[in-house]
Amino acid sequence: MKHLSEEELYALSQEPSGAGHPHFRECPHCADAYDEVKRLLEATAAAGRVSEPTPDYGEKVFAAIQASLPVYGQKQSQRKWNWWGQNGRLIFAGGVASLALVAGAFWAGSAWQQRQAREETAKWNRGAPSRVVFVVVRDHLDRSERLLMELDHAGHLTEVDRGPIASEASELLEDNRLYRQTAAASNDPALAALLDRLGRVLIEVAHDPATLEGGASGTIREDMNLDGLLFELRVLRDKEGAHGRGGEDTKETKS
């Protein structure tokens, strides 16, 4: 009798009905080999149950890497400074001679251009937060969307179901307050308004999980127009994404 190859045995172990393969009834050798593969995979799955890190784990990781995180603006100017340190004297000597010739004509035009560029940069800096901030807000909107969708699709919620939803809402609520304040301060009324509405839903879910009882998520859905909020959130998130990319492009073009 021809035995199954190791590859065939592994492939069978990945099928739900693999153990019932007709060959195993006739061939105890292959049945044992199949059993070995299954045991190995079960032991592996059991070993994969890693315990949760401590609640302050993220803070510890951040504390460990914080000093190594460059401040983007500073890093760029420092790099420029180093470059000047190495090559500046040579360039300066050659440049002075040629600069003297064109300085007069150049001055008027460049002064005007520099003023324009400074105004544009200042305008961009006022209106657009950095890329990291975009990613953070995006992450917050993604998480909120997932929670709202969970609520939107929730039917009857037991106490066990409510716990994680309420605690997720509670976490989001805290971040949401900070982002709303930042959005309001940075003159982004659309985002501030959305975060305000989102905050109201999160308060309901986090502080009064009983409102989720027995399909009361339907009440939230209707009272707070959950579908509308979800739609608005997706539109704004896409807009924020496009804005982030646009801002980045602008930044790169300038540098």
Partner 1 sequence: MEGDRDAYRHLVVRHSPSVFKTACRITGNAADADEAVQETFLRAYLQIRKFELRADFGTWVYRIGVNCCIDLLRKRRRQSGWRVSEQTEFGEMSIQPVDGAAGPERLLLSGELEGKRRAAMSRLTEVERAAFTLRHMEDKSMQEVGDLLKISSDSAKQAVFRAVQKLRRELRPLWVKALDKQ
Q: Does 21 bind partner 1 (CB under 8 A)?
A: no
Q: Does 34 bind partner 1 (CB under 8 A)?
A: no
**Sole window of 62-70, 91-99, 149-157, 210-218 interacting with partner 1 (rule: CB under 8 A):** 62-70
Which residues lie below 8 Å from residue 121, measured CB to CB, with a gap of 6+? 254
Among 150, 152, 175, 196, binds partner 1 (CB under 8 A): 175
Q: Does 149 bind partner 1 (CB under 8 A)?
A: no
Q: Does 24 bind partner 1 (CB under 8 A)?
A: no
**Sole window of 92-100, 110-118, 124-132, 212-220 interacting with partner 1 (rule: CB under 8 A):** 124-132
CA quadruple 236, 238, 241, 246: dihedral, nearest 10 = -90
Q: Give me the amino acid identity at 188.
A: D
Name the residue nearer to partner 1 (CB basis): 156 or 254: 254
Burial environment of residue 193 by CB neighbours within 10 A (0 to 12, 13 to 18, 19 or more): middle
**Sole window of 17-25, 34-42, 96-104, 213-221 interacting with partner 1 (rule: CB under 8 A):** 34-42
Which residue spans within 85-230 are E strands per DSSP? Answer: none
CA 195 vs CA 151, 164, 223: distances in Å: 17, 21, 17
Q: Does 130 bind partner 1 (CB under 8 A)?
A: yes
If you search the block for the tokens 């994969």, which residue do you land on? Answer: 48
In this structure, are residues 201 and 220 in contact, taking their beta carbons and an 8 Å threshold?
yes
Chain residues binding partner 1 by CB under 8 A are 6-7, 10, 36-37, 39-41, 43-53, 57-59, 61-62, 64-66, 68-74, 129-136, 138-140, 142, 175, 238, 240-241, 244-245, 248
